[in-house]
Structure 1
Amino acid sequence: MLKVIVFGSLNMDLSMECEGIPMLGDSLRGTGFLSTSGGKGGNEAVAAARMGAETYMVGKVGNDHNGRKLTSDLTIHGVSVSNVSVTARAATGVSLVLRSGKDRAVVTDPVPTRRSPTARCVPPSTAWASIATSFSCRWDPACPWCSSRSPAPSATVSTPFCAPR
């Protein structure tokens, strides 16, 4: 079985449908509010797991409701979260998404990732087939395993992983 490790961001996506993207100072009526688990790293990990890979996530979340929801959703989708750190020093990252037809506007505050120097190192294995990275967590050159490898970038999956299929 293919094994994939993903280093990346984990954010809660708070989104709403609206008539258009508002200009500064405008107020628009919105409908269809969704709160879904996301983040480029989380989306990549779920996509790999859905394709049948044994998938491991490396990232950081806050010790809050959103952090627990993200790790729970990853687990439900078959992603190992044993290398997701939990911090009490920052809230879980949040993305605000305004959906308008085929257009959208996104504002993200990846708080734990921004304030964390390094993700925990994942134990080495000779069976790793690929490493997916979105580099929201920093590659640790002090780690013997990390420093002996060049991470290969992967495609970004833009659909939040807990959105209805």
Structure 2
Amino acid sequence: MKIIVIGSANMDMVMQTSRIPEIGETMRGNGFFLSAGGKGANQAVACAKMGADTWFMAKVGDDLFGQSLMNSLAGFGVHTDFIHAEPNVTTGVAAITVCEGNNSIILDGGANNQLTPAYIQGYKEELLSAAAIMLQLEIPMESVYETIQLVKGKVPIFLNPAPAVPIEDAILQGVDYFTPNEIECRAYTDVDIQSIDDAFAALNILRAKGIQFPLVTLGEKGIVYYNGTDNVYKEGRKVQTVDTTAAGDTFSGTLAAMIISGKSMDEAVDIAQLASSIAVTRLGAQNAIPYISEIIS
């Protein structure tokens, strides 16, 4: 049973600082490193590290960063057959500033913007044979729409709506698992989540749009989700946060891997929460994501 993740691949350029500089200010950082990233690639790595047969569909540049990202993905066990190196285009990059465990990000999509609906269509049979499809919103929206319309009702769809952009309700109707954080959730529900009751109200709105299993991550406060019978709230795990860069991607990828492995929604959420809580105690994105052996003995 394979998961096909369709999404972005970026090279993350990470700088740690004691605070975010003001406009026009130059200040010293205290550590720089390059790290393979991109929401799509991160989620693919999370799926693979959780033991899922994971295939990643993406575009990278025909450059050193692109080759490095493909090698990194393969090293984590992700199949790279559906990744194309686009000539004369740069690989996507993200400039990330990490300050006291939180981050700010500037993203240049580069080759990710070349992941077109036509490219998706070229893999129609492969997509329809998958056990699940995972999507995010760092690729062209027309490609997200094309994928959902192609497989909805035939293959379970996991959509992490990040970064949040408008999505037509007719498209949301085709989504099985929808995993925004509380800020992204507001873009689709107009609910400013200040309490668990607010979060449950948001879940109900998302279900009314035709989403089968909405989940809203609340950071350190935990998560709310619909398990097929009830709206459920689970508290967050208390950990010493170092870097939140891949927290949501770890959760989303782990959730998908656990669901297709046969876990119940409640079991899958527990494992995904644990994986995410481990990831935030480590610097970076894909290297920070834990393996299933660290979670399930």
When normalised by structure 2's length, the TM-score is 0.50
State which of 155, 160, 163 in structure 1 corresponds to 2:285.
160
Q: Could you tell me whether the CA contact under 8 Å between 2:3 and 2:55 is conserved in 1? A: yes
The aligned counterpart of 2:133 is 131
Q: Which has the higher helix share?
A: 2
The structure-2 alpha-carbon separation of the partners of 1:6 and 1:28, relative to structure 1 and needing over 3 Å to count, comes to same
The aligned counterpart of 2:22 is 23
Q: Could you tell me whether the CA contact under 8 Å between 2:15 and 2:32 is conserved in 1? A: yes
Which segments of 5 or more consecutive residues in structure 2 lack a partner in the other structure? 161-178, 180-247, 251-283, 291-297
Task: Give 3-state SS (helix, strand or coil) of 2:27's partner.
Answer: coil
Whole-angstrom distance in 2 between the partners of 1:163 and 1:94: 18
Q: Which has the higher strand share?
A: 1
Whole-angstrom distance in 1 between the partners of 2:107 and 2:85: 19
Identity of aligned residues (%): 28
Larger RCO, structures 1/2 (Cα 8 Å, 6+ apart): 1
Q: Could you tell me whether the CA contact under 8 Å between 2:10 and 2:36 is conserved in 1? A: yes
- Give CA-to-partner distance per residue, 1:109-160, whole Å, 9 cap, x none: 011122443435334376522111114151474x9xx754124315541661
Tell me the number of residue pairs that the alignment of Structure 1 and Structure 2 aligns: 161
The aligned counterpart of 2:72 is 73
The aligned counterpart of 1:38 is 37
Tell me which structure has the larger Cα radius of gyration.
Answer: 2
- Give CA-to-partner distance per residue, 1:75-132, whole Å, 9 cap, x none: 0000011010111121001000011112211000011122443435334376522111
Task: Give 3-state SS (helix, strand or coil) of 2:80's partner.
Answer: strand
One-letter amino acid of the counterpart of residue 38, structure 1: G
Whole-angstrom distance in 1 between the partners of 2:145 and 2:57: 12
Deviation at 1:34, TM superposition (A): 1.0
One-letter amino acid of the counterpart of residue 78, structure 2: V
> Are 1:11 and 2:10 matched, yes or no?
yes
